Structure 1
């Protein structure tokens, strides 16, 4: 299967990136591969039909950013796959630019993204794929000398124009870029309690709002008969990066302000997931993903900061195992069986 071949390739490139100081060339190869894989697909993804119909018949009852982009290229008579190329160039370019700023080893970060959220969004929830990409890029204006709330908000508004759920990421600019103190932790707990109550009372509206924008729910969510079991699996999947961080970090990763900031944001995503999933799985996943996606940077930075080569090897094996597991969860869904337009030529 092409996904397995690419994962192995990306793993090899990630290892080479760890050894070679010239890391950018490996991330360029992975970025190009991700663009081509998503652009050349034919009928792949749980929402292929919905987005294809948007393109053929026009999009109106969805966010203005995607509708404008969709209708412009459709009116020019370009093929749907050419439009997919434009969408994925935009999405992967933004993620890649953010990765260069936030990750010490970009190849590892992109491999982690490929193993799960790439298929989840770039192959299915394309509007949120672009919104997520803008959100990741917006973080470059939250750190260092480029910290600029106006540019952050402009980029975030672009994200919201593609998927309304990105509005939750507005809090990212105000999250401390240092270890949280006791008062801030208590404040977060109170905040999550309030947020879960808000989602409880507005869950029907929020779920309807997200769903009405496109006729699509991922089969992974639709076919689940045991929400509590999925919730527990989701918790373990989100806790594993934290366990790995605490076992192997030995405090050096937490001396890097960017990594501390990303860690704090990841905790917020975990909190959103824990307090909202059982109320509304769709809302819980969509809102928390803007923060939990940052594991792709945290784990890559952990490898970089590890001082012993043996530790780097162990971490790479753990990361590859996690990526393999996440990728394997998509194999049982026929909608993800890869077909390319090249095959039909």
Structure 2
């Protein structure tokens, strides 16, 4: 909605792209800084995973994700109304932000270790549903209701690569492990629980890779937040270095893959 308004107000590219670039980095940087986490490490992770693939190619969702990062500070301070209002505004840029409304509900749920361990089985349940083909059938049903089933099914039905599966599974294991270790941290436990739900949706709609990836990336911003929080939680250099390696190795590989993608090789042109 806001995107359409911007296009209507200004027909040129420069102001349009400048708005998204400034707003995304502003919400992300200020939001992370307010969380008082390791800013350098988190921004490095963001650059490796999101910068090429999302800040350039999926600008609306990148901004919506950055607004979610900023809104977390409202939840921590008990400003619930502000949290929901900001994420409703984010939905005006990209509808995937609806998942952040759901996170607001999770925040008020007391997640015990028992609850979290049970949630780890959720991806297995959705894997069974995916194998049965029900996930694709559900998507087909809703696209038919929208009146354009052939459009969505033809444009969104792609295969998820082995690399994508591998990176998601590695991070799922890491996030699950660290969340169980730091269950007493309200933000880590809530984000970890939220992340597992996101991974489950990723599996459920794996046959519709475009939808699956969009939903999953909305959840993957959680990875860099948890990584930054862990560096603060751990006191010893060895533990901090372990966290660094767990996240940086897969993220560095993903960065190389993103950088080698022809779609991400931009030609620098002056705007003046």
TM-score range, shorter chain: 0.7 to 0.9
Residues 206, 230 of structure 1: alpha-carbon distance in 2 compared, 3 angstrom cutoff: farther
Number of aligned residues: 261
Contact 1:160/1:166 (8 A) holds in 2: yes
Contact 1:103/1:109 (8 A) holds in 2: no
- Where 2:215 maps in the other structure, the secondary structure is helix
Contact 1:238/1:292 (8 A) holds in 2: no
Q: Tell me whether 1:67 sits opposite 2:1 in the alignment.
A: no
CA drift at 1:237: 4.3
CA distance in 1, matches of 2:71, 2:37: 18
CA drift at 1:134: 2.2
Gaps of 5+ in 1: 1-63
Taking the TM superposition and a 5 Å limit, the aligned residue runs for 1:262-341 are 262-278=191-207, 280-341=208-269
CA drift at 1:231: 5.6
Q: Tell me whether 1:147 sits opposite 2:79 in the alignment.
A: yes
- Where 1:227 maps in the other structure, the secondary structure is coil
Pick which of 164-173 and 96-105 moved more. Answer: 96-105
Where does residue 70 of structure 2 map in the other structure?
137
Flag as ranges the 4+ runs of structure 1 deviating above 6 A.
none
CA drift at 1:329: 0.8
Contact 1:245/1:299 (8 A) holds in 2: no
Where does residue 103 of structure 2 map in the other structure?
172
CA distance in 2, matches of 1:161, 1:240: 33
CA drift at 1:124: 0.5
What per-residue deviation string (whole Å, max 9, x for no partner) do you get for residues 121-179 of structure 1?
11111121122222333333322x3331x222211221111112222332111113543
CA distance in 1, matches of 2:2, 2:70: 17
More helix by share: 2
What per-residue deviation string (whole Å, max 9, x for no partner) do you get for residues 202-241 of structure 1?
34755988x989xx98xxx96xxx5363563243343253
CA distance in 1, matches of 2:220, 2:112: 18
CA distance in 2, matches of 1:188, 1:159: 31
Q: Which of 30, 34, 45 is residue 97 of structure 1 equivalent to?
A: 30
CA drift at 1:261: 1.7
Q: Which of 72, 75, 93 is residue 162 of structure 1 equivalent to?
A: 93
Residues 301, 235 of structure 1: alpha-carbon distance in 2 compared, 3 angstrom cutoff: same
Gaps of 5+ in 2: none
CA distance in 1, matches of 2:141, 2:249: 37
Contact 2:172/2:196 (8 A) holds in 1: no
Q: Which of 109, 113, 116 is residue 46 of structure 2 equivalent to?
A: 113
Contact 1:235/1:274 (8 A) holds in 2: no
CA distance in 2, matches of 1:336, 1:291: 22
Where does residue 27 of structure 1 map in the other structure?
none
Contact 2:167/2:250 (8 A) holds in 1: no
Q: TM-score, normalised by structure 1?
A: 0.64
Pairwise CA RMSD? 3.7
What per-residue deviation string (whole Å, max 9, x for no partner) do you get for residues 169-211 of structure 1?
3211111354353499469949x75x975763234755988x9
What per-residue deviation string (whole Å, max 9, x for no partner) do you get for residues 92-133 of structure 1?
111223212445212211211111122221111112112222
CA distance in 2, matches of 1:306, 1:269: 26
Q: Which of 183, 192, 197 is residue 254 of structure 1 equivalent to?
A: 183
Taking the TM superposition and a 5 Å limit, the aligned residue runs for 1:79-90 are 79-90=12-23
